[in-house]
Structure 1
């Protein structure tokens, strides 16, 4: 599952005509190419992509992605992609949660080792978050704190010094979480449509749910929000296939 409905206005002029996930980072290879390639590499062949802003550009490339990576794509439309934040966007794909899903943010460039780490982890909770506990944190990151091994808080609004690490935008959603996650996301965007899907995870924790994390180790990755991030993505993306 790839969350790719956002506009990415800080990446203009690329995103004048493309969603952020289709910005190229390695020759003609886009962020979405890397997302789909990673999911295919761990054996996932049915991939749901949540689209919204400039969705037609994804439709136009759908056949090419399917042939290139040997997958079947299902596009789910977020009708409020330019108005609301991504708690609603992920909720739009709620019908697929019950099958189990490996969710990746469509603006994150990371190696396939992240997916491998999530899939190899023991089944200790129905939702498992990929977390970087190596990187030096700042204010913009989606930070987490733990209580023992359980997620306690997930928010950008946290002193970096208090955080265990950064959630990197990859989640293993096991089938048992389906109804509870969908309800938490609905509660989140109905309360404030500008909230993140990670705020839905916080709703679950506040309701007594256990959510665990999987440290990804010291890997090269970046969330592509602006042109500086894009430059970093272009430095690291070409090394993934070579195992860097």
Structure 2
């Protein structure tokens, strides 16, 4: 099994932590970086190879990860000379397997990556998206108006959404239509597939998931890590 980890972003929302470190290398707990946790998880689940898509401060990621041997992985790299979006870096990659995992390099989750990829293969899907239920609370009374009159009122409503976790199963053929070097976001890929009537598969998940995008998220990850370490790393730590 092969995984591609997107690790090229600047981590602007996580500053000042990312002023001198790329976001995947910010430390979690006393021992690990986010990226090391992810690599350990992939290795323990049977992945043999990983491609790291790097950009901002990518030389630090290369220095830290090396060839991946210490985790039992074969790690290669692709460099973004300019931002290519969530999917764009994949377009220039050679020799990708028919089906592979794609994930962001800044998430903590106990999702089974191998289970998602196996489900993707079994479904014969072109794109499988790991999704998570997220509640959005509105701390105000919400009004609906028409022709100058209030027609509906809801006090502090709560909305439920399924959001993308930043982990996908992808089939190589999906990328064939796009030229290498094209900036391409995950949102554009999904909209293109929907326009074709090729609906991506929803891989619903209700375990632990945290997207470390802001300082509050990072502080939460560190506060929770000692409790979560057995679920995240099992016997790999």
Alpha-carbon RMSD: 2.7
Secondary structure of 2:112's counterpart equals helix
Provide closer, same or farther for how the CA distance between residues 169 and 96 of structure 1 changes in structure 2, counting only shifts above 3 A. farther
Instruction: Measure how far apart 1:23 and its partner are.
Output: 0.9
Once the two structures are superposed, residues 63-99 of structure 1 have per-residue CA deviations (whole angstroms, 9 ceiling, x without a partner) of 3x72431111001111113xx5333234343x34444
Scaled by the length of structure 1, the TM-score of the pair is 0.74
Structure 1 segments, 4+ long, off by >6 Å, are none
Q: 1:15 aligns with which of 18, 32, 47?
A: 18
Secondary structure of 2:135's counterpart equals coil
Paired position in structure 2 for 1:220? 208
How many pairs are equivalent? Answer: 208
Paired position in structure 1 for 2:123? 123
Q: Conserved in 2, the CA contact under 8 Å of 1:221 and 1:233? A: no
Q: Conserved in 2, the CA contact under 8 Å of 1:45 and 1:72? A: yes
Secondary structure of 2:177's counterpart equals helix
Paired position in structure 1 for 2:148? none
| Structure 1: distance between partners of 2:64 and 2:46 | 21
Q: 2:172 aligns with which of 174, 178, 185?
A: 178
Paired position in structure 1 for 2:102? 103
Q: 1:207 aligns with which of 175, 188, 196?
A: 196
Provide closer, same or farther for how the CA distance between residues 171 and 9 of structure 1 changes in structure 2, counting only shifts above 3 A. same
Q: Which has the higher strand share?
A: 2
Instruction: Measure how far apart 1:220 and its partner are.
Output: 2.0
Provide closer, same or farther for how the CA distance between residues 26 and 99 of structure 1 changes in structure 2, counting only shifts above 3 A. farther
In structure 1, runs of 5+ residues without a counterpart are 140-159
| Structure 2: distance between partners of 1:49 and 1:210 | 27
| Structure 1: distance between partners of 2:104 and 2:216 | 18
Q: Which has the higher helix share?
A: 1
Paired position in structure 1 for 2:54? 51
In structure 2, runs of 5+ residues without a counterpart are 139-157, 233-237
Q: Which one has a bigger Cα radius of gyration? A: 2
| Structure 2: distance between partners of 1:13 and 1:183 | 39
Scaled by the length of structure 2, the TM-score of the pair is 0.76
